[in-house]
Amino acid sequence: MSVDGWNTVLVLGGIRSGKSEFAESLVAEAPTVRYVATAADADADDAEWSARLAAHRDRRPETWTTEETAGDPRRLADVIASAEPNETLLVDDLGGWVTVLLDPAHQPADDTATIAELATAIRDCAAKLVLVSPEVGLSLVPTTPLGRAFTDALGAANRAVADACDAVVLVVAGQPAWLKPTAPRPVTVPAQGGPAATTGNGATSTPAHAAPEHPALPDVLTPTIPPAPSTPADAGTPWSAPTMALPMVATGLVIQPGMELPMPDEYAGPQAVDRLATLDVPGAGLGVLDRVVGFAAATQGTPTPVPWDSVRVLLVHGDHAGGAAAGTVSGESARRARQARAGQGALARLAAESGASLQVVDAPTARPIESEPALTPEQVESALRHGWRLAEQAADAGVRLLVLGACGAGTEAAAAAVLAATAGAEPPTVLGRVVTDAGEYDDAAWMVRCAAVRDALHRTRRSPRDAKDVLAELGGGDIAVATGVLLGATARRVPVMLDGPVGVAAGMVSRDLAGQARHWCLLADHGGHPAVRLAADVLGLTPLLDLRLDLGEGANALAALPLLRSVLSLTAALPVHPSLGGGTESGEEPEETDEPDFREPEPAGPGPTSTEPEPEPADPTGWRAG
């Protein structure tokens, strides 16, 4: 189910509001769904009602099973109570159930007791359950006794079921409005660990190695450049100071394909590039760096963009087990993450020099993709929402640019698997050679990685290639979190500078969830990675530089950031060329003089010593011998 942390959801809505379609979207990713139909079959002469029922049946996937309860409305509570924890039920709808309940064939009956039994079954339900019901409380009071009995019974049922459900959503004109809880539950990125332990009183406790139910977002570090050491003993002094993490942000948004997120300004970018041709520069201009001006203008919504004054680096740390991590040193990625948290290493140093904040994010470890899915569907949903919240936190803090990087064992192989699944790439062509700590190539490890990706693609050859399926089967926690970051940043109009295979793999996945996300992405340098080259071509991202930096994801982008900022500062400050009516750089008009712009040169040799007028020269050019 796409609503994390909620097992039971009530979907309310008026006639033709889209409530059934929305409810079906909540369970669309479940492997199997038991559809519980409550309405009685249509009469032979009611063609319109028959058509409605047929439309509902046609929308159901072939993997769904259907169960009818119209013969005995009291059986609905039994069906819900007996559902297993691994099942998903969709009940559509309670209006039909109340209609059958009030049918004279089932009277006399205690309707209140039957509704109470249903609420109890929902409250104790172990399965994932979505119920659909018409909202009749906004209509006029019916004029007939039967109509009043129906609205009263359905209103009582809706209230009882809403109280029993974890979440309630009202669908109006196809737009969902969450009524309960008013502040949706925060979503966690679960750690790899065993099930929760049970205490003596029957409550559950979280193991020490598992993620807490409501974790705070990671601390945001603000690295600073240390002073020059006076003695060698000062060389190891860390130069970071953690800042307070901002409060968590919960959106209640269902992350699903086809989301409509904002696009950059389609006019500001071209206007900014056209403006470059009018600036007072002595040379031919910025060359390929005019693209960064167009990108900044479009994402800032102005033809005169300014440098990014607040930058945050998100370093996603997540390992991949199995053959994907062949050739890596055990514990190296964790050491890099600890180093960044301590404000040390290349990434933190460059962040300090750029005045950027740094946030290290832990993602769940992915299982071996050659033999099993990397993540469960629940972990994918949690990771996506966690990344979305990280982007929202940054936007609320006034961040104007996010730099997205990653560190983890097996990230390049996982990114290659995602590219093979989404772009049809051949794994060997997008897997870079493995380089050891000694600077030597490890071709044996490279072949193990290729084999792991090949086996993973063979294992999933009949699996869907939807975005969330790709993340669950092949991507892993780091790519899922990065995808959530891209989507959340797009929703908040914050541009993202990608750096490395994980970022571009997330860009490929986010394209299938919201096509607008790639337009908010900037790629400074491809770093020589074949996966980055291919993904950039598919996403339409042209690297601004070709420096082939390999300082680690995130650090490459920070190394290029001062140049990009300088370009934006220059274009924002330079005036229009005087020949086009521009003034000086200070904004003042150039001082006018009576002297002509071009004058004949003075003759060579000594000048006249007399004050009397010289006779007209015979040479019409005005030159004379000295």
Catalytic residues: 553
- Bond into 124 cis (ω within 30): no
Contact (CB, 8 A) for 12 and 168? yes
Both structure tokens of 25: 């979207």
* Long-range contacts (CB closer than 8 Å, 24 or more residues apart) made by 266-272: 266/298, 268/297, 268/298, 268/300, 268/301, 268/302, 268/303, 268/305, 269/294, 269/295, 269/297, 269/298, 270/294, 271/297, 271/303, 272/296, 272/297, 272/298, 272/302, 272/303, 272/304, 272/305, 272/571
Using H for helix, E for strand and C for coil, what is the string for 178-212?
A: EEECCCCCCCCCCCCCCCCEECCCCCEECCCCCCC
Contact (CB, 8 A) for 138 and 96? no
Distance between CA atoms of residues 495 and 483, nearest Å: 14
> For residue 497, which of 399, 391, 403, 360 has the smallest C-alpha distance?
403
Contact (CB, 8 A) for 95 and 19? no
Q: State the CB neighbour count (10 A cutoff) for residue 123.
A: 16
Q: Where are the alpha helices (DSSP H) in 201-247?
A: none
- Strand 65-68 to 8-13 pairing: unpaired
DSSP string, 537-591: HHHTPPPSB-----S-TTHHHHHHHHHHHHHHHHHHHPPBPGGGT---TTSPPPP
Both structure tokens of 146: 């039967």
∠ Cα 402 405 411 (to 5°):
150
Q: Which H or E run contains 168?
A: strand 167-172
Distance of CA 378 to the CA centre of its chain: 17
Distance between CA atoms of residues 331 and 128, nearest Å: 38
Find the distance separating the first CA and the last CA of the chain, reported in whole Å. 98
> 625 in the Ramachandran plot: left (φ > 0), alpha (ψ -120 to 50) or beta?
beta
Distance between CA atoms of residues 5 and 583, nearest Å: 61
- 15 Cβ partners below 8 Å, 6+ apart? 134
Per 3-state DSSP, the chain is made up of helix, strand and coil in percentages (nearest 5) of 40, 15, 45
> For residue 395, which of 324, 315, 332, 489 has the smallest C-alpha distance?
489
Using H for helix, E for strand and C for coil, what is the string for 81-141?
A: HCCCCCCEEEEECHHHHHHHHCCHHHCCCCHHHHHHHHHHHHHCCCCEEEEEEECCCCCCC
Give the three-class secondary structure for 222: strand
Largest CA distance in the chain: 134
Phi, psi values for residue 366, rounded to 5°: -85, 140
